[in-house]
Structure 1
Amino acid sequence: MMSHDAEITGGCQCGAIRYRIDALGRSSVCHCRMCQRAFGAFYAALVVANGLEWTQGTPRYFTSSNISKRGFCADCGTPLSLENFADDQVEIATGTLDDPEQAPPGLQINHRYACSFADGIGALPEPDDQTIAENDAWNAQVISYQKP
């Protein structure tokens, strides 16, 4: 189990939902098809949230299976949680932490369901210097409406 001196907080991208966590547990990435769809990604990064308190707003839920439900922000669509009915375990989407560096993944779950290219993503080349400069210029124009 992980513990941190820093406050553990997070929320959705529009700011309608915020949370606080007492301590972080197992941090993992899950490759199952349900997580892929729920996150719209090749895998879902999740961390066990011990002592979770929703401090602003409350998630909407989708019962994704007979054993769990998934919380999300009804305003902006941010996936927030995976909550198991049997043991009341709650996992928070790692990317919604204010500081995701607090929860580096230590385990891959359901790797046999991983997309065939997932393991090679970290080895993909970066763009050339001109493309990087163009991306930097484009990003400099972006005004984010996401709320920390």
Structure 2
Amino acid sequence: MKTGSCLCGSVAFSFPDGPEKVTACHCSQCRKTSGHVWAAFHVPLADLTFSRDGGLSWFESSDWAKRGFCNTCGSSLFYQMKGEATINIAAGAVDEPTGLTLTRHIFVADKGDYYSIGADGADQIEKY
């Protein structure tokens, strides 16, 4: 099992080991919620378990998705599409060693004007 948490520890979770592929999203919503790029991977919702969830709150960020965050420290932790059986977990919230690999960038056409995307070998998708 792999583990993760928010900055203050009010939300702590675990999920099974696996070859998680990380996607970096450059859309304006992800940049606003994270302060920059939001990098995440998905697991089946049924595989995510919480050892602490007292600080977990949800924000409906669009008609199609909601975002989970810690209401104590503000850590952005989860993204879930409505009706989906999977959940996206913030890569930065996972305890090391993560075993994660960045494999693609999405919404690169919407990226902020203050940075450029480096040549990290990951796929770059203009829209998603």
TM-score normalised to structure 1 length: 0.70
1:107 pairs, out of 86, 104, 108, with: 104
- Written as runs of structure 1 = structure 2, the 5 A alignment for 1:130-141 is none
Question: Unaligned stretches of 5+ in structure 2?
Answer: 121-128
Higher strand share goes to which structure?
2
Q: Secondary structure at the match of 1:29?
A: strand
- Written as runs of structure 1 = structure 2, the 5 A alignment for 1:93-104 is 93-99=90-96, 101-104=98-101
- Write the deviation string for residues 70-94 of structure 1: whole angstroms up to 9, x where unpaired: 0000111000000111213200110
- In the alignment, is residue 46 of structure 1 matched against residue 40 of structure 2? yes
Whether contact under 8 Å (1:94, 1:100) holds in the other structure is: no
For 1:37, the equivalent position in structure 2 comes to 32
Which contiguous aligned blocks of 4+ residues in structure 1 show a shift greater than 6 angstroms?
Answer: none
TM-score normalised to structure 2 length: 0.80
Question: Unaligned stretches of 5+ in structure 1?
Answer: 1-6, 123-148
- Written as runs of structure 1 = structure 2, the 5 A alignment for 1:1-148 is 7-24=1-18, 25-41=20-36, 43-50=37-44, 51-58=47-54, 59-99=56-96, 101-116=98-113, 117-120=115-118
Whether contact under 8 Å (1:23, 1:49) holds in the other structure is: no
**Does the C-alpha gap of structure 1 residues 100 and 109 become closer, same or farther in structure 2, counting only changes over 3 Å?**
farther
- Measure the CA separation in 2 of the matches of 1:32 and 1:89: 20
**Does the C-alpha gap of structure 1 residues 100 and 80 become closer, same or farther in structure 2, counting only changes over 3 Å?**
farther
Larger radius of gyration: 1
Higher helix share goes to which structure?
1
